Amino acid sequence: MDKTSMILDVDTGIDDAYAVLFAALHPNINLLGITCVDGNTNVDQVVANTLKVLDAAGAPDIPVARGATRPLLGPSVYAEYVHGADGMGDLSIERSSRTVDSRAAIELLRDLIEGSHEPVTLVPVAPLTNIALFLRAFPESAKKIHRILLMGGSASAGNATPAAEFNIWHDPEAAAIVFHSGVPITMYGLDVFMRPGITQQEAAKLRSSQSRPAQFAGELIEAFIARLGIATVTLGDYGAVAAAIHPELFSTELFDVVVDTSPGPGRGATICDRRDAFLRDFEPISLENPATVSVVMDLDVEAVRQLWLKTIDKGWS
């Protein structure tokens, strides 16, 4: 299997941590860098959390840059009710001694994409503010992105609102820019996001593992289970990273998609035209100016779970 050169854009975030751990540890991912954005919590906390996750992964000196401090238009609305006051489970993990890259996120994106000899896959698992700003600031560099595999959106229901998924809802204007950028886009959205999960028993087993990344992941998952009183925790954002390197475990469908940027109850929804060919031809109303997006609609849940477990804990059986 060839190595995939990858950049993550994160708002770490408990499930972003699962994605970062996996990308840092998987032997077929060349993790070029990580950009941070305002989302689950404020961007400075996102940076601090991301550096802690890299410590837990025992990762080399991967550049991490600070990005947007708020969405393009609206105010920041954080998801601390899900991810804790510190955005990462309130575990009082020691601050990292790693340094933050001195470049802004969009400059790091430009430099990594321009400097890579291999095609670069961009995996944003957060609101798309950094990516939209990058596309606007450096359109020539943006043309060199191989593909974007993003966690966001839904071809069915929302979570932040009845209609909208959190990452898209946090910055719909940024999402609309990204969806219409012309870069090939795969959307790993809420249709599949919740499905690969880890049980309390598996979390306890990870925590008692010999491997530091596994212990860290186990602690995070157990804290999350305790706080929310749930039986299983989704691996969430990790799924988008897995889909980038193991497409055979996922099935996708091509849809015409529009991001709703109106101020109404549909704000932030990714409206996917799922009508069959007959209805689409028969009915007079089409989506106006849609983007064509490959949407992940199904996955091999057990294989995706095992892929994560065995990457985080080499001795997992």
| Residue 86 backbone dihedrals phi, psi, to 5 degrees | -95, 5
166 binds ligand BDR, rule: CB under 6 A: yes
Nearest residue (CB) to ligand BDR, 137 versus 160 = 160
149 binds Ca ion, rule: CB under 5 A: no
- Interaction residues for Ca ion, span 284-303 (CB under 5 A): none
125 binds Ca ion, rule: CB under 5 A: yes
Per-position x/- string for 106-135, each x denoting binding to ligand BDR as judged by CB under 6 A, each - no binding: -------------------xx---------
237 binds ligand BDR, rule: CB under 6 A: yes
Q: Can you say how many angstroms the Cα of residue 250 is from the centroid of all Cα atoms in its chain?
A: 16
The span from the CA of 236 to the CA of 312, in Å, is: 15
What the block records as the tokens of 11 is: 């708002």
167 binds ligand BDR, rule: CB under 6 A: yes
- Sheet with strand 270-272: strands edge to edge: 64-66, 29-36, 4-10, 120-124, 145-151, 185-188, 291-299, 250-259, 270-272
Q: Which residue is associated with the tokens 């991490």? A: 64
Q: Can you say how many angstroms the Cα of residue 13 is from the centroid of all Cα atoms in its chain?
A: 10
Give Rg (Cα) of the chain. 18
Shortest Cβ distance from residue 210 to ligand BDR (Å)?
A: 28
Nearest residue (CB) to ligand BDR, 15 versus 171 = 15
9 binds ligand BDR, rule: CB under 6 A: no
16 binds ligand BDR, rule: CB under 6 A: yes
Shortest Cβ distance from residue 219 to ligand BDR (Å)?
A: 18
235 binds Ca ion, rule: CB under 5 A: no
Half-sphere exposure of 251 (CA within 13 A, CB side): 5
Nearest residue (CB) to Ca ion, 111 versus 268 = 268
**Which residue's CB atom is positioned nearest to ligand BDR?**
166
Half-sphere exposure of 80 (CA within 13 A, CB side): 12
Shortest Cβ distance from residue 317 to ligand BDR (Å)?
A: 29
The span from the CA of 316 to the CA of 294, in Å, is: 33
Binding site for Ca ion (CB under 5 A): 11, 13, 16, 125-126, 237
